[in-house]
Amino acid sequence: MIRRRSVARAAVLVALLMPAMLAAQGGAFIVRLGRDTLALERYSRTADRLEGEQVARAPSTVHRIFTVMFHPGGAVERFELVEHNVSGAPGPAESKATVDFAGDSAISTLPDGDSTLHQRVKVPPGTLPWYFQNYALLEEIARRARSAGGTRYTTTLLPLGNTEPWTVTLDPIGRDSMTILLGSIGRLRARVDERGTLLGLSGIGTTMQVTVERVRGPLDFAALGKSFALRSLGPLSPADSVRASVAGAVLAVRYSRPSMRGRVIFGSAVPWNEVWRTGANAATVFETSADLVVAGTTVPAGKYSLWTIPSPDGWKLIFNRNTGQWGTAYDAQYDFARIAMTVERLAQPVEQFTIAIAPQRDGRGGVLRLEWERTRASIPFSKK
């Protein structure tokens, strides 16, 4: 409660101190995931309004128009987001979401299939709206942090559709950089000027793996939307599964498959010596119909979430009793076992992360293999 009140007081103080420096600014960003252009965005900011548009390519191409309206003191009054489906993918041609901020509440009206969802969320004063991959709104909080001064700035964002606001913490690094700890996404690294104008941003190593650069010159969003409509990226990390019968045991793995897209993976996109979700999106699930012996450790029949700790000195595979969670919700208290894996370098890179179950020739067991980039991590198992 004390922390929540301090966050609210800090946000209100900054809103009251917001100078004219927030007026009459605009810009544009290009958003990349590895070598692929993921989105383009442009915006304009006046004293009482932030508005802009974005063309995004995943999973289908959409054109978004966003508007944030501010009270004279700087607090948000209303947020609107209109989304147009320009790629012809299944779904409505147009949808609209709104969030009205009044007192300690945010009242949302959200598209929900063929109907509308109404939602009220309690939020601290000074909370800003946000939807995934909107960089004008991240710049807004960076500029407020610069205006506040000091060594740390904390506020709250309400992601569109969330029932709880996120705490956001910004820490300056010298005169031209800051980190943005953004809810469950992780710590982003931003390049900014003395006013907090966002010059570039990196999410590499977080769950938002993009790089963002400020661009100069005009962007023809109508033409870009038509161009991208035929070149949508599809799901960035599509869901997949593998199933095998080995020595009388039925094994299954359900996971999501990110791609390299020209990136350095291990030691960068996937940091060393940290627990990795072993894929993307929801936590990877491993099921076995029979008790197994995995590299000498007995793993009883059942369902587990599967995690790894990649390291230059060797990998560990984690069997965790908790399942059904998102891939950022790892909880070590549910670990059943951590087991060392065998790691080898591949002659050819593997573009898309792959999990395979390979039976041994003698039929007595098999090998679980994880392959991505030029790395294969594997572990033997047999039926107990």
127 in the same domain as 43? yes
* Within a domain: 234: no
255 in the same domain as 106? no
Q: Which amino acid is at 359?
A: P
**Residue-range definition of the domain harbouring residue 176:** 2-226
* Within a domain: 220: yes
In which element (H, E) is residue 17 found?
helix 2-17
- Interaxial angle between packed helices 135-148 and 2-17, expressed in degrees from 0 to 180 and rounded to the nearest 10: 90
Please count the helices (runs of H) and the strands (runs of E) in the chain.
Answer: 3, 25
- Does the structure show a pLDDT above 90 at 153? yes
Could you say which of 226, 251, 274 is where a domain stops?
A: 226
Could you say which of 173, 195, 226 is where a domain stops?
A: 226
Helix (H, G, I), strand (E, B) or coil at 342: strand
Could you say which of 226, 255, 283 is where a domain stops?
A: 226
Up-side HSE of residue 305: CA atoms within 13 Å toward CB?
Answer: 28
266 in the same domain as 212? no
Tens of pLDDT, residues 20-37: 444 458 999 999 999 999
Rounded CA-CA distance 378/361 in Å is 16
Rounded CA-CA distance 186/168 in Å is 10
Q: What's the pLDDT score for residue 280?
A: 95
Q: What's the pLDDT score for residue 21?
A: 44
Mean pLDDT for the stretch of residues 245-273: 96
209 in the same domain as 69? yes
* Within a domain: 60: yes
* Within a domain: 368: yes
Closest listed residue to residue 369, CA positions, set 357, 381, 360: 357
User: What is the DSSP pairing of strand 153-159 with strand 128-130?
Assistant: parallel
* Within a domain: 231: no
Rounded CA-CA distance 160/147 in Å is 26
User: Which own/partner pairs from 295-298 qualify as long-range (CB within 8 Å, at least 24 positions apart)?
Assistant: 295/339, 295/340, 295/341, 295/379, 295/380, 295/381, 296/339, 297/337, 297/339, 298/384
Q: Which residue has the tokens 């009459």?
A: 24
Percent of the chain with pLDDT strictly greater than 90: 79
SS3 content of the chain, % helix, strand, coil (to 5): 10, 55, 35
Asked whether the beta carbons of 285 and 299 are under 8 A apart, the reply is no
155 in the same domain as 19? yes
Maximum alpha-carbon separation in the chain: 75
Residue 189 tokens, joined: 């690294």
Q: Considering the chain, what is the average pLDDT of its residues?
A: 91
Rounded CA-CA distance 303/289 in Å is 9
- Does the structure show a pLDDT above 60 at 5? no
286 in the same domain as 182? no
Tens of pLDDT, residues 84-141: 988 777 777 889 999 999 999 999 999 988 899 999 999 999 999 999 889 999 999 9
pTM of the model: 0.87
Number of domains in the chain: 2
